[in-house]
Amino acid sequence: DQQVKQNSPSLSVQEGRISILNCDYTNSMFDYFLWYKKYPAEGPTFLISISSIKDKNEDGRFTVFLNKSAKHLSLHIVPSQPGDSAVYFCAASGTASKLTFGTGTRLQVTL
């Protein structure tokens, strides 16, 4: 039972344009959401998070939007840069301390 879903396994975007990565969740008890970036053969690095009391959080080029009624969150990267090419995971947590991860979206930023 996949409680956190990233339905797009890959995404290609031109340098300078906006990248939009999507994530859906099914568990209404989730109230804290995170995005991680991962390069091959390395551990994920934390990018940005959002609590369910907010609908938007921004950090530099990265903005996360949360739509609780739709159980949907998205990560916007503007402008996209070649160094952003990686796999992006969304994750969610509820009352327990553990995170539930999606399957990831591979972003390729082309020149």
Please give the residue ranges that form the binding site for another protein (CB under 8 A).
4, 6, 9, 32, 34, 36, 41-46, 49, 89, 93, 96-104
CB of 7 to another protein, least distance (A): 13
**Least CB distance to another protein at residue 78 (A):** 23
Instruction: Answer yes or no: are the C-beta atoms of 37 and 45 closer than 8 Å.
Output: yes
Q: CA torsion angle for 78, 59, 93, 8 (degrees, to 10)?
A: 10
- Residue 12 vs 14, nearer CB to another protein: 12
Asked whether the CA dihedral 74, 78, 79, 81 is positive or negative, the reply is negative
Question: Which residue's CB is nearer to another protein, number 8 or number 79?
Answer: 8
User: Nearer Cβ to another protein, position 9 or 16?
Assistant: 9
The SS3 assignment for 42 reads: coil
